[in-house]
Amino acid sequence: MFEKLAFIEERYDELSKKISDPEIIADQEQWRKLCKEHADITPIVNKYREYKKVSETITEARQLLDEQLDKDFRDMVELELQESKEKIEKIKDELKILLLPKDPNDDKNVIMEIRGGAGGEEAALFAADLMRMYSRYAERKRWGIEILSSNPTDIGGFKEICFMIEGRGAYSRLKFESGVHRVQRIPTTESGGRIHTSTVTVAVLPEMEEVEVEINPNDLRIDVFRASGPGGQCVNTTDSAVRITHLPTGLVVSCQDEKSQHKNKEKAMKILRSRLYELMQQQQHQEIAQARKSQVGTGDRSERIRTYNFPQGRVTDHRIGLTLHKIESILDGDLDEIIDALITNDQSEKLKQAAM
């Protein structure tokens, strides 16, 4: 591990010089690439240098203890040595996590798709609640949010809604949200006061650039039609809505939220690229299914991951057995405690795999 860290530190120093070189700065594409690599390894180098500093403190303390010291000074040195030993073990653990292979999509924007499942209107209303939850979370992180497509219901829910969250590290924080979210509550549409169980499906996709997922235009069938609103009423007098069918896979994406056909097509292509990437990833994951058993979840849309129980005021994440009794604040976007626990668990499982 330490040979690797020494190599990374050398590379860091080399990059620090390069990104200050006027000739390299003149080549903006190369400069941005080097800056990204520099930024990616900076936390590792900072932690490694902290490790070396504490290691020096331990060496100095041990040398002092070999000398003749009065009792008070010896006690002080021994205390410092013990604290430094504990600190260096913690730093070692942090370095192991920093050296884990990084998901290449972690820094990307996110495309989220939320669909009402079992439960009819109640599921659609909870889909709207989850949309608001992720929107509020994005606001807390100062990330941008853009609706890509939606299918609203008459009473304020969503049969489905697709939106983009733009911000560095968005995918790294939200990727574990894929799966089935279950809600248990008395629906506003229910007069009898009985608790209903409904489900909503969430898919989290990294935004993919054109160069990352190539799509042959000959593989696409593009249809245009007039946009419709809740209940199917016409809300547009021009054929601005766009439906794109990817013929080889059968994937279909529709966008109608914008008045411009061009903008709807652009948004539909963003969704299609991310869905195609997800499809390719699923095929790869099937080939390494055993390895994926070690992770928090497969990200499979059919996997029930979380329950929101309103009568008890609790939210339970079934993958890690975490229950929090603060449903209102969670639905208001206070997701960090759950997300941090999921990330920690995932890192722990990966460390176990690395040690095998």
**What pLDDT digit, counting tens, does each position of 115-135 carry?**
998 878 889 999 999 999 999
Q: Above 60 in pLDDT, residue 55?
A: yes
Confidence of residue 251 (pLDDT cuts 50, 70, 90): confident
Pull the structure tokens for residue 188. 């506003």
Say how many residues make up the chain. 356
Identify the burial level of 143 via C-beta atoms within 10 angstroms of its C-beta, where 0-12 means exposed, 13-18 middle and 19 or more buried: buried
Q: Residue 143: what pLDDT?
A: 95
Percentage of the chain beyond pLDDT 90 is 38
Q: What is the dihedral of CA 60, 61, 64, 68, to 10 degrees?
A: 180
* Residue of 166, 236, 237 whose CA lies nearest to 207: 166
Element (H, E) at 73: helix 71-98
What does DSSP assign to residue 290? H
- The whole-number average pLDDT for the span 14-40 is 89
Rounded to whole angstroms, the Cα distance separating 164 from 320 reads: 27
**How do 144-152 and 158-166 pair as beta strands?**
antiparallel
Q: Residue 285: what pLDDT?
A: 63
Please state, rounded to an integer, the average pLDDT across all residues of the chain. 85
Contact call for residues 76 and 122 (beta carbons, < 8 A): no
CA quadruple 193, 194, 195, 198: dihedral positive or negative? Answer: negative
110-210+273-349: CATH class: alpha beta
- The whole-number average pLDDT for the span 231-248 is 70
Q: Residue 287: what pLDDT?
A: 55
Confidence of residue 337 (pLDDT cuts 50, 70, 90): very high
Sequence-distant (6+) residues with CB within 8 A of 223 are 242, 243, 244, 245
Rounded to whole angstroms, the Cα distance separating 57 from 37 reads: 31
Q: Above 80 in pLDDT, residue 270?
A: yes
| Lowest pLDDT segment from 48-57, 122-131, 144-153, 226-235 | 226-235
Pull the structure tokens for residue 191. 């007069």
Pull the structure tokens for residue 199. 């489900």
Q: Above 50 in pLDDT, residue 288?
A: no
Q: What angle do CA 158, 168, 126 make, to 5 degrees?
A: 15
**Packing angle of the helix pair 28-65, 71-98 (nearest 10 deg):** 150
Q: Residue 299: what pLDDT?
A: 43
Q: Residue 233: what pLDDT?
A: 52
Q: Residue 230: what pLDDT?
A: 54
**What pLDDT digit, counting tens, does each position of 204-224 carry?**
988 877 656 778 888 888 888
**What pLDDT digit, counting tens, does each position of 74-115 carry?**
889 899 999 999 999 999 988 988 888 888 888 889 999 999
Output Rg (C-alpha) for the chain, integer angstroms.
26
- The whole-number average pLDDT for the span 69-78 is 86
Rounded to whole angstroms, the Cα distance separating 250 from 224 reads: 17
Contact call for residues 240 and 227 (beta carbons, < 8 A): yes
Strand partners, 70: none
Query: What is the 3-class SS of 207-271, one letter each residue?
Result: CCCCCCCCCCHHHEEEEEECCECHHHCECCCCCCEEEEEECCCCEEEEECCCCCHHHHHHHHHHH
Contact call for residues 200 and 126 (beta carbons, < 8 A): yes
Q: Residue 329: what pLDDT?
A: 95
**What pLDDT digit, counting tens, does each position of 186-201 carry?**
887 666 678 888 999 9
Q: Residue 254: what pLDDT?
A: 85
Rounded to whole angstroms, the Cα distance separating 60 from 81 reads: 9
| Lowest pLDDT segment from 173-177, 237-241, 244-248, 344-348 | 237-241
Pairwise pLDDT comparison (266 vs 110), residue with the higher score: 110
Pull the structure tokens for residue 295. 């992770």
Confidence of residue 290 (pLDDT cuts 50, 70, 90): very low
Rounded to whole angstroms, the Cα distance separating 53 from 96 reads: 18
